[in-house]
Amino acid sequence: MTSQPPEGNPDFTANPAGGQSPQEQLGYQNQWQNQAPPQQNMPPQNMPMQQHNAPPPAQMGTLRVTLQGSFWTNSMVAPTVTLDGYRLNVTGSSGSFDFPVPAGQHRIHAHGQWMKKYGNADLDFVMEPGRLVEVFYAAPMNQFVNQGNIGFTPQKQAGGGCLIALLVFIVLIAVLAVALPMML
């Protein structure tokens, strides 16, 4: 059994960049669909309806969000990415995801969350009709770093020094736990 897209939602195909098809993106894009409001106070059947010139549909562009990193440097939990306060459907902790976005000024926010919220990053951009805007987000390597990196070019992951210091501390405790009883 195949499911039909919601009324007013064109049937898009899968994205070649590896992102999701717009059918799978239910969060942000449905806000921009031109769906007719519920019919209320309809004139009787014999009376002609007034014709109004409908405004043209909003010009769209494409936002490509690239989550940098790999299985070894990222959390297994996908970061939360929002556009103008609406959550985008990002299903992995790394890779590229494409989203249709109306032309105009926008703000993208990303953060990770495991035991606490970390890696906060915000970026303002202007979407032009028919254009592609690429945004790169690099979550920190650990949750003890509050600031993530986001920009129009590939970003470096923060928190490497903190992660190394934490690992050295754990190894030092383990060595002391083994060596101290032998010295007594």
Residue 45 lies in a domain: no
Higher per-residue pLDDT: 158 or 52: 158
CA distances from 109 to 7, 42, 123 (A): 30, 43, 7
What tokens does 146 get? 């509050």
Structural domain tally of the chain? 1
The closest alpha carbon to 124, from 138, 105, 139, belongs to 105
Residue 70 lies in a domain: yes
Cα separation, 17 vs 95, whole angstroms = 9
Range of 165's domain? 57-183
Give me the pLDDT at residue 13, please: 40
What tokens does 97 get? 């995801």
Residue 98 lies in a domain: yes
What tokens does 89 get? 């459907």
Supply the pTM of this predicted model.
0.58
Q: Is it the case that residue 47 has pLDDT exceeding 60? A: no
Judge contact between 143 and 112, C-beta under 8 A: yes
CATH assignment of the domain containing 151 = 2.60.40.1120
Q: Is it the case that residue 95 has pLDDT exceeding 70? A: yes
What tokens does 117 get? 């919220």
Which alpha helices (H) appear in the chain, and where do they start and end?
160-183
Q: Edge-to-edge strands of the sheet including 95-102?
A: 95-102, 60-67, 132-138, 149-151
Residue 50 lies in a domain: no
Residue 68 lies in a domain: yes
